[in-house]
Amino acid sequence: MGLDYKWVLWNAHKKTYDRLILLGMVTYLVLFFVLSFLTNPEIIAETVIIRAFGSLAIIMLHIILAIGPLSRLNPRFLPLLYNRRHLGVSMFLAALVHGVFAIIQFHALGNSNPIVSVFTSNMDYGSLVNFPFQVLGFLALLILFTMASTSHDFFLHNLSPKIWKGLHMGVYLAYALVIMHVFLGAFQQDTSFLTVLALFLGLITLVSLHVRAALKEAKIDGFVWAKDTKGWLAVCHPREIAESYAKIFTVDGERVAIFKHEGKLSAIHNVCKHQGGPLGEGKIVDGCVTCPWHGYQYLAHNGQSPPPFTEKVKTYALKIENDMVYINPEAFPEGTAVTPISSGS
Partner 1 sequence: MIAGQRRAHKYIWIGILVLLPMLMILAVKDLDFSAADASGTSTDLPVSVSLNGQSVSIQVNTPFKSTSSLVYEMLADGSKGAVLGQLEGRGTYDFPVSEATKGIYVVDPIKDVELLKMEF
The binding site for partner 1 (CB under 8 A) comprises 68, 124, 127-131, 165, 169, 172, 175-176, 179-180, 183-184, 187-189, 191, 196, 200, 203, 206-207, 210-211, 214, 217-218, 221, 253-255, 271, 276
Q: Whose Cβ is closer to partner 1: residue 127's or residue 342's?
A: 127
Q: Whose Cβ is closer to partner 1: residue 29's or residue 144's?
A: 144
Distance (Å) of CA 324 to CA 73, 228, 238, 272? 29, 11, 7, 27
Q: Whose Cβ is closer to partner 1: residue 210's or residue 319's?
A: 210
Sheet holding 318-321, edge to edge: 226-227, 233-236, 324-327, 318-321
**DSSP conformation letters of 141-207:** HHHHHHHHHT-SHHHHHHH-HHHHHHHHTTHHHHHHHHHHHHHHHHHHSS--HHHHHHHHHHHHHHH
Q: What does R_g of the chain's alpha carbons equal in angstroms?
A: 25
Q: Which residues pair with 283 in a beta bridge?
A: 290
Output the smallest distance, CB 335 to partner 1, in A: 17
Q: Whose Cβ is closer to partner 1: residue 74's or residue 189's?
A: 189
Output the smallest distance, CB 241 to partner 1, in A: 23
Output the smallest distance, CB 313 to partner 1, in A: 11
Distance (Å) of CA 196 to CA 103, 179, 200? 23, 9, 6
Q: Whose Cβ is closer to partner 1: residue 81's or residue 289's?
A: 81
